[in-house]
A and B are shown apart, each in its own frame.
Chain A
Amino acid sequence: MNRSLLRLISVVLFVAGAAAPLQAADNYSIDPMHSGVHFKISHIGLSWIYGRFNNYSGSFTIDPEDAGKCSFELKIDTETIDTNNSKRDAHLRSPDFFNVKQFPAIAFESTGVKAIKDGYEVTGNLTMHGVTKPVTFALVGGKTAEFPPGVPRTGYSTELILKRSEFGVGKEQFANALGEDVHVAISFEGTAKKK
């Protein structure tokens, strides 16, 4: 009896041990080569000005079994703002807008993740221009591939609208020239971290 019980326990432990890596969350680092952080903002209601941030980093954890264990982190270097016009970029870096010497990064850290169709609904704290606000957005994607062979990766995309006045980006005198809503589009791939 004791011997059979021991065998059963050992079998259970073995199976549990073997299955653990399969159920564990996968950690990824954002691959900047195959990612992008873009935005657009209305100019006096006539046209859209498009821009992007060229330097960012981040990581995320995906647990296919339990969305609650997923997490996302992203840090964007505000100094690398690029709207294809060097003078405008310099102005955007100035204290009139991002004040990059005082606030060199835009940071996002998730606080809760829920599974939805084709992805996740992510809630988290976005810190921009020294102001931290909760934001929620739908993250679509999650397909996996190996590129190059042997490097597993996955990717997600999202689009969200931020109110720039909520974060104090852009002084009042630019209210007529620039739209209040900033349309942000983020798409990223992550390569699996080696365990």
Chain B
Amino acid sequence: MRELFLQAQAVATELAPPTGIAAVSAALVFLLFGWPWRAPRLRRTAVGGVLSVSVGFLAGCWWLGVRPQWPPREDQDRLLLVLFPAVIVIELVAALLKPEIRNPKSEMGPSDFGFRISSLYQWLPWLLRLVVAATAGRILLHDSSYIADLSGPGTRQWTPEQTWQILGGLAAALAGTWMLLSWLSQREPGRAVPLAVAVACAGTAVILMLSGYASGGPLAMPLAGAVVGALVASLVMKGTVPLDRSAGAWRGRVIRRDRNWSLFWGTNLDQCCPFVFCSALLLAYRIASHPSLETVAARFCGRRAHRGASGHRLGFGPAEVCRRLSSDFSRLGRAVARRLHELREMTEIDIAIRHFTAQKTACSLHRQGRKQ
């Protein structure tokens, strides 16, 4: 237990500075764009959301000493030099193409960046996102032994059919996650979804590190820090925070990498499955908060739908998410502690049996010696 605590302390010490730097950078950029003392502008705030998370993530990566090489040679280089800029561009396009008036309380209008966008192009970001989702797996696995004959003809590990199936499945999973998070964030605009995404990112970082990728896993911590930093900055701003889409996009990417690892290099994932479980649980939890699904969930779980005095469904705010998370984690912690206690008892019994057997053997040998 003490060893586990020391390991956790060492990891936390290593990851705290880049996460903090990412959070501070993201908060500063977001405040710069959001400018809390002026009336909020939807597009500008949306652009600020994308750029704050991106700048925060990059700052954290810089602190971690991540230096991608050009031309890209490895999956991490392609992640940072190809996919990352692509996602930034797409999310910036999506932010700029946002409908002009979404929140009637704020003074949003066509003058955000001095131009109008036809609503005909609203589908463009989703088209681009689907392109990224469809090609992300292929880009990351480019020139790997899974899909390329690196050690001579016929040495690739996957047949073309398997490649299509796996990459297709991963693309569908990524696109599905992206859409689901976007849908959830539109249904319930606020800080709950990005907060859940940040927690899931932090969990993913630990998963990847424990899976045996010590230099790749920490990349998710600056991402979590950047999202949290932007969220904290958003507390001093008026109106809704349009962080959800960009955060959702990144969560999708992280999930994709996560699955990538569990499929390709997944070592020791059994030790990290609580984190995978928590990550999936959060998403499922959010999905289940849909009124129609909530009714189904209530039937199964015997719980009533969560409704306020006015009859409207109450959205889960950060406090509620934190409360439920802390409850889940404390339950998980108790279960782990119970299991460790059982293991220790078993070890003690085992040691006692061995000690007894050794004593018995020594006694019998002594008796034999006396007889002789």
Contacts and interface: CB of A to CB of B under 8 A. Distances in A.
Given A95-B75, A104-B150, A172-B65, A90 B212 contact: yes
A173 B65 contact: yes
A83 interface: no
A101 B150 CA distance: 9
A95 B74 contact: yes
Contacts of B264: 101
Interface string B124-168: 000000000000000000011110001100000000000000000
Contacts of A105: 150-151
A102 B213 contact: no
A95 B145 contact: no
Contact of B76 (A77, A95, A103, A172): A95
Contacts of B76: 95
A172 B215 CA distance: 9
Contact of A94 (B69, B146, B213): B213
Interface string B42-77: 000000000000000000000011000100011110
A93 B213 CA distance: 10
A118 interface: no
Nearest to A175: B65
A99 B150 contact: no
A159 interface: no
Nearest to B67: A172
B214 A96 contact: yes
A100 B65 CA distance: 22
Q: Interface centre among A87, A99, A168, by most B CB within 10 Å?
A: A99
A91 interface: yes
Contact size range, B? 20 to 34
A168 B69 CA distance: 10
**Chain B contact surface mostly:** loop
A169 to B, nearest CB: 12
A174 B65 CA distance: 11
A87 B210 CA distance: 11
A171 B14 CA distance: 15
Nearest to B215: A171
Given A101-B145, A101-B265, A104-B151, A94 B74 contact: no
Interface residues of A, number: 21
Q: Interface centre among A96, A100, A168, by most B CB within 10 Å?
A: A96
B267 interface: yes
B85 interface: no
A138 B212 CA distance: 37
Contact of A102 (B65, B143, B268): B143
A51 interface: no
A130 interface: yes
A101 B143 CA distance: 9
B215 A96 contact: yes
Given A96-B213, A101-B146, A104-B145, A130 B73 contact: yes
Interface in A85-140: 87, 90-91, 93-96, 99-105, 130
B339 to A, nearest CB: 21
A2 B267 CA distance: 82
Q: Interface centre among B14, B65, B212, B268, by most A CB within 10 Å?
A: B212
B216 interface: yes
A38 B133 CA distance: 43
Contacts of B73: 102, 130, 168
Interface in B67-113: 69, 73-76
Contacts of A101: 144-146, 264-265
A181 B74 CA distance: 23
B75 A90 contact: no
B215 to A, nearest CB: 4
Interface string A65-83: 0000000000001000000
B144 A91 contact: no
Interface string A42-55: 00000000000000
Contacts of A171: 65, 214-215
A105 to B, nearest CB: 6
A96 B151 contact: no
A106 B264 CA distance: 21
Contacts of A90: 212, 265, 267
24 contacts: A87-B267, A87-B268, A90-B212, A94-B213, A94-B265, A95-B74, A95-B76, A95-B215, A96-B213, A96-B216, A99-B75, A100-B145, A101-B144, A101-B146, A102-B74, A104-B150, A105-B150, A130-B73, A171-B65, A171-B214, A172-B65, A173-B14, A173-B65, A174-B214
Interface of B: 14, 64-65, 69, 73-76, 143-146, 150-151, 212-216, 264-265, 267-268
Given A100-B145, A101-B265, 13 more contacts: A90-B212, A94-B212, A94-B265, A95-B76, A95-B213, A96-B214, A96-B215, A96-B216, A101-B145, A102-B145, A104-B151, A171-B65, A174-B214
**A-B interface, 5 closest residue pairs, ranked by CB to CB distance from nearest:** A171-B215, A172-B65, A130-B73, A90-B267, A101-B144
